[in-house]
Structure 1
Amino acid sequence: MGDRRTAFVARREAMGYTQETFAAELKVEFSTVGRWERGEATPQPFRRPRIAKALGVTLQELGTLLGQAPAPARCPATVAVVPPDLAEADDMNRRDLLRLFSATGALLALPPATGDVARAAAAGAEEFAVFASHLWRVYGLASNKSQVLPLVRTQLDVLTDALRQSQTPATRQRLCRLTADLFQLAGEIYFDGDRYTNAAHCYALAADASKEAGAPDLWACALTRHAFIAVYERHFIDARPLLDLAANLASRGDTGLSTRHWVAAVQAETFAGLGDLDACQHALDTAAEVQHLTGRVHNGGWLRFDGSRLAEERGTCYVTLGRLELAEAALADALNGALTARRKAGVLTDLAMIGVHRADPDQVITYADAVLATARQTGSGVVARKLRGLQPYLAPLLADQNIQRLDAEIAGLVSGHAA
């Protein structure tokens, strides 16, 4: 916590601004002004000319108001790195996303046109497609997924501008496909960051753009991601109609792709949550048929299902259904495979849950401690949410001191993540 910037506050008040009107003048969130004034954050350099103008001071005088001492002399080879104000950056991302939602939704409703710009747009679409595939790869490799968001948002700005231009119907369809692709990636980033409302908006726009593009597989994947938010929040009854629609779309898509099998895998989790073992097993069997496909069954971007996660998904379903022996065998099989940190955390959380059902504190601690370590290392909201889902089930074991410690650490992690 920093010291309150009383001189900065006094100058803002002397200029006749409330915190609300000052925030509106600067086009920032009201909460951002509050953090500046409490000394919890410092305005980023690109904002300072506008702040200085609003307060009627020079940039040097603004530095004094903010209580910033001049930078000490240093060796030319030494570079000072100022950490970004993450809260302010998050405010910017949210505002930019809302603007994109509004702009893209309106542009998708416009008809295509023709002209000289259309030919340029057709050439640019090829470059957009290459860059989008690169972004998915960067996302897959990034330990902190939120770091990819500014790149995705910038590319969505470019696509939105392209949609404003005149295009042929074919180029417009291509641009709509790319927009749907990147909105699904934006949704994945927000989902990983525990921002489910933002993720849902992204998936909804991806579905609209996919429909405009006439791309049933892309559309089905957007709906499946949207439905998975409900599955993840254990609102299984809400997920079912979206998945039914996704399955119908996937049946009209490319039979060489794994779309319909991925939809079935998410349906299996939904049926497990609804307590329907037979329907769950049937859906898992349908998902497993992906192993009979030949050739390239996914594109590594908005469609990445190849059956490699089936053991994990079976394990999750069986844990939900209370079939512990089946679950443990499937999860042990999953651990023998090559897992990303986030996927491994999901498997370990399910194994900890089995320990809860068996009233075995040692098993719970062994697996949950490993998940805690992953959550701290990656900052993933998905991993934190896994632990949050485990926490209520720890109550019967709280007589054990190690379980008490685990419960407190999960509470601290979840609280810190929410902040």
Structure 2
Amino acid sequence: MTLKDRRKALGYSQEGMATALGVDRTTVGRWDRGETEPQPEYRPRMAALLHVDLLTLDALIKESSRSPEPDAGAPSHDAYGPGEEDMIRREFMRVLAVAGALVALPADEAGVLAEDAARDDAAGYLRMNDHLWQVYQLARSKDSVRPVVTGQLAALNESLSDRPSTPASLCVAAGDLFQLAGELAFDRNRHTEAAAAYSLAASASKEARAFDLWACALVRHAYVETAGGRYREAVGLLSVAERVAQRGDHSLSTRQWVAAVRAEAYAGLGDLAECERALDEAEEVVHLGDHAYNSGWLRFDGSRLAEERGARYVQLGRLDKAEAALDVALKQLASARRQSFRRRGAVLVDLAALGAKRRDIDQILTCATEALRLARQSSSGYIAHRLRALPAEIGALADDRRVAELSAEIAALSGT
């Protein structure tokens, strides 16, 4: 095994390794190709990042020197370079754009006949969509579902292309599938792609007058805004989502989910009163029946209320309230029949942030280290994104050697 093999096996990109070690990416590229060897001052930290001792690291370096890459002079396409990843992204965006344009086309007299012919097709797509949502939720690595979803998008795109108009039933299938495609992009921190998918989901759902589906697309788009710290923009989107949801099925939990995300936006703005008001609205989900959600594009069932409340109190600096809610959330996740690495990781990041506000180094290390483990094990870009904000919370505590090492590992993870 070479140095590059070990680096990639642990999920580090060249940028991530370079950031963690304080060197340029091209330096890591030269180490990979066996052109140069790491200087002695970098080796202890490199060994820790690669989870090997110094003797094993030395053997990896020597193997790299003996086995130079055949394309040593070529630019590297590691991680998110202009290689297969860009090709996949372009294809994904092409499918979204073509199908979205077709959805926007006005219906003509053939629409009624097309709708009759499309119902069976749409039912098949919806059954497959339901299956894909289940696979997505159960998958340890969400990205493993992406090729199947891309294939389903292409099939739907072909079905839409063959029709003179866009039947409402196929618009519903498209609005459903685009939301799943958006979630996959969002989990990989591809926020521009996620926003495009959610916009198309909203367009397709609007065309079908599927109000709850439409509102959920807007909610997911609001998550892109909150992830970027654009809380006022998120509030605007959620205000529209709320109005759309009012026209939907009030036996569903759509309005309560809108309120839960609105709480996050108001917490980001530092508005405690509006945040708590929204959280109280979200908790009304407990009064709805078992059919309030569908485990697909609408999954808000009240099981995350403690997580949501705890995370919002961390944002607002209400530490005692936050810790109580997050402790409840961890216990609920531990006892759940199906474990969610993404949810558990998010709660652990919130507890680490709470420890940072209290200047409790042990809590930071314990919670963030476990969240790092979950992020690596699941390849979750979402947990990585949450962890990336943690060093800013740590602040002056980064002078502690253990905290500094943790920050370096987070930097390496966020580059993968």
Same fold per TM (> 0.5)? Answer: yes
Taking structure 1 as the reference length, the TM-score comes to 0.76
Answering whether residue 311 of structure 2 is matched by residue 316 of structure 1, we say yes
Instruction: Decide which of 264, 267, 273 is 1:269's aligned counterpart.
Output: 264
Q: Which runs of 5+ in 1 are unaligned?
A: 4-34, 40-65, 69-84
Identical aligned pairs, as a percentage?
A: 48
- TM-align CA RMSD: 2.6
- Which residue does 1:160 correspond to in 2? 157
Taking structure 2 as the reference length, the TM-score comes to 0.77
- Which residue does 2:345 correspond to in 1? 345
Contact 1:121 1:162 in 2 (8 A): no
For residues 168 and 205 of structure 1, the distance between their equivalents in structure 2, rounded to whole angstroms, comes to 17
Answering whether residue 404 of structure 2 is matched by residue 404 of structure 1, we say yes
Contact 2:115 2:169 in 1 (8 A): no
Instruction: Kindly name which structure, 1 or 2, has the bigger radius of gyration based on alpha carbons.
Output: 1
For residues 323 and 197 of structure 1, the distance between their equivalents in structure 2, rounded to whole angstroms, comes to 32
Give the match's secondary structure for 2:303: coil
For residues 116 and 293 of structure 1, the distance between their equivalents in structure 2, rounded to whole angstroms, comes to 38
Matches within 5 A, 1:127-276: 127-166=124-163, 172-276=167-271
CA shift at 1:111, angstroms?
3.1
Matches within 5 A, 1:4-403: 88-112=83-107, 113=110, 119-166=116-163, 172-337=167-332, 338=336, 339-403=339-403
CA shift at 1:194, angstroms?
0.7
Contact 2:181 2:194 in 1 (8 A): yes
Q: Deviations over 1:43-64 (max 9, x none)?
A: xxxxxxxxxxxxxxxxxxxxxx
Q: Deviations over 1:346-369 (max 9, x none)?
A: 111111111111111111101111
Contact 1:177 1:209 in 2 (8 A): yes
Q: How many residues align?
A: 341
- Structure with the greater relative contact order (CA < 8 A, sep ≥ 6): 1 or 2? 2
For residues 223 and 409 of structure 2, the distance between their equivalents in structure 1, rounded to whole angstroms, comes to 27
Contact 1:349 1:390 in 2 (8 A): yes
Q: Deviations over 1:20-54 (max 9, x none)?
A: xxxxxxxxxxxxxxx9xx99xxxxxxxxxxxxxxx
CA shift at 1:399, angstroms?
2.5
Give the match's secondary structure for 2:251: coil
Contact 1:118 1:166 in 2 (8 A): no
CA shift at 1:109, angstroms?
2.2
Change (3 A) 1:379 1:161: same
Change (3 A) 1:231 1:116: closer
Contact 2:319 2:354 in 1 (8 A): yes
Which amino acid in the other structure matches residue 241 of structure 2? A
Change (3 A) 1:114 1:211: closer
Q: Deviations over 1:224-271 (max 9, x none)?
A: 000111112221111111000001111110011000000000000111
